[in-house]
Structure 1
Amino acid sequence: MTTVSTPHGEVWVASPPAEAGVRDFDEFYAASFTPLSLQLYAYLGDLGEAQDVVQEAFCRAYARWSRISRYDDPVAWVRKVAWNLATSSFRRKRTALNFLRRQREEHFEGPDPDRVALTRALAEIPAQQRRAVVLHYMAQLPVAEIAAQEGVAEGTVKSWLSRGRAALAAQLKKEN
């Protein structure tokens, strides 16, 4: 591995076989980085991202520099790789955006004011009465089942329900 100095800092990349190749690559990089970055910036609209894809393309070129340096136009190879990377990045972002657009936002209306008042009133009555009222009116359990569940006589459950309704009525009247 070798470090290559760039206008954006140093980057670790695979070493080409010959030291002369490193000097050639450094010159190639220095002469080509900015123009390629500007071309990709025009395509992507984001200078940082353009520099990133061009940098990645140069890293790939450096790893193959012994072969690419013999091309008639090594800049064309780097440009093609950078454009392919930019296109892939653009597609990934577009796919993510389309996914997000397909997601439905779930909007929930706030609780009904009557339900809020009832919840507050339930919190104010004794626990046994509250339990009996909730089980009978909300869970729709019959008195006999509530009595069996609570381990009390049916008359006791009926008493809790009667007192619970009266207490709820008083609490709800207070709130209004």
Structure 2
Amino acid sequence: MDTDDGFGEFYRTSRHRTVTVLYALGGDLGEAQDAAQEAYARAWQRWSTISTYGDPEAWVRTVAYRLLVNRWRKIRNGIVAYRRHGPDPHAGPPSENTVALVAALRQLPAEQRQAIVLHHLADLSVADIAAQTNTPPGTVKARLARGRKALAVLLDTTLSEEACHA
């Protein structure tokens, strides 16, 4: 007997049909797959109850369709709000310094970038970063030190190049 009480088999035999129906209803394969995935996750959490239904696949389809509709509503409401209010009038273009910083951050290894952003932009302590990333505090400190050093070189190079072009 399956350790998942038949959920795995249910998923394997119904997933393609569910995604196909959602794709036909919504016209976006990615959205259909996302909605189906969420619906199956919810079904799995309640499988002891849903497995007793006459048509568990219908339950999944209904939940997935509602998720799809809710996404459409959110998108539509966002567009309506944007049309009504327009872009934030106080939000100007990013400064040259911001553009240079973001470009330099993109060049850092992901772990160093994450440590620097969480520490300096999100204002988290080393202990908080360690807990959030499941990393020892010493490793976080090392990533911060290496990241700052690399960032200083990258920003110095960027500023020197800008001075040459000015």
Scaled by the length of structure 1, what TM-score is found? 0.46
Larger Rg: 1
Scaled by the length of structure 2, what TM-score is found? 0.49
More strand by share: 1
